[in-house]
Amino acid sequence: MAATGKLFGEFLCSLKSELKLPVGISCINPYLDREVRQQVKTFTEKFYSGKRKRILILGINPGRFGAGITGIPFTDPTALDRHCGMPNSFIQKKELSSDFIYHLIEAYGGPRKFYDRFLISSVCPLGFLKGSVNYNYYDSPQLLKSVNPFIRKSLLFHASMSVRPEVVISLGKKNALFLESFNAEMKLFGSVVNLEHPRYIMQYKRKQLNSYIRDYLSVLSAF
């Protein structure tokens, strides 16, 4: 079996925007860009080398200023350069979710230590916009129905990688409810553990950032 980094990188870079979406909803697919594919390849091979079993962490779907630019889950262009040592020519946008995750990663001991134990992705690895605003896969019944087969295939792929089957960590309460529903039917993981979504923390609870970081570390240290 190929190393996790190679499998994950190839999966991301092969994603197509061939979803039949409801009127008014468009798809974010950064993997059509050559630099994105190269950065994803470099990142996944650098941080997800080997075949050790990692804990899978799943967000909702990429946003337009983070993975929607870089193709790397929860990693905006600034974090890619500053924290991961990967200079890039992307527009240097910062994203709230990425900002939280890299505060967490630095508190954990840095990217190499963190990514050696955890693999971060999304329930739906392509993002969506309604107009120019980020849109979640579960924000309308019509969109959820449209992307349901795509999400199922994605979850099957993630479970087939070298990840630990006893648990999957969800970022976001509503995300956890849908992930639990998929998991109850597909029986991919033993349980779903929920953590507050990084964007919610940074947007509404930023004064409590350190407390949330401690909460995250407490949960992650159990694995």
How many domains does the chain divide into? 1
Residues 8-20: tens digit of each pLDDT: 999 999 999 889 9
Q: Is the pLDDT of residue 3 over 90?
A: no
Place of tokens 């960590």: 169
Query: pLDDT by residue (tens digit) across 148-196?
Result: 999 999 999 999 999 999 999 999 999 999 999 999 999 999 999 999 9
The CATH number that applies at residue 50 is 3.40.470.10
What's the order of all strands across the beta sheet hosting 25-28?
25-28, 127-130, 133-135
Q: Whole-prediction pTM value?
A: 0.96
Which residue range is the domain that position 179 belongs to? Answer: 4-220
Residues near 143 by Cβ (< 8 Å), separated by ≥ 6? Answer: 21, 22, 25, 128, 135, 137
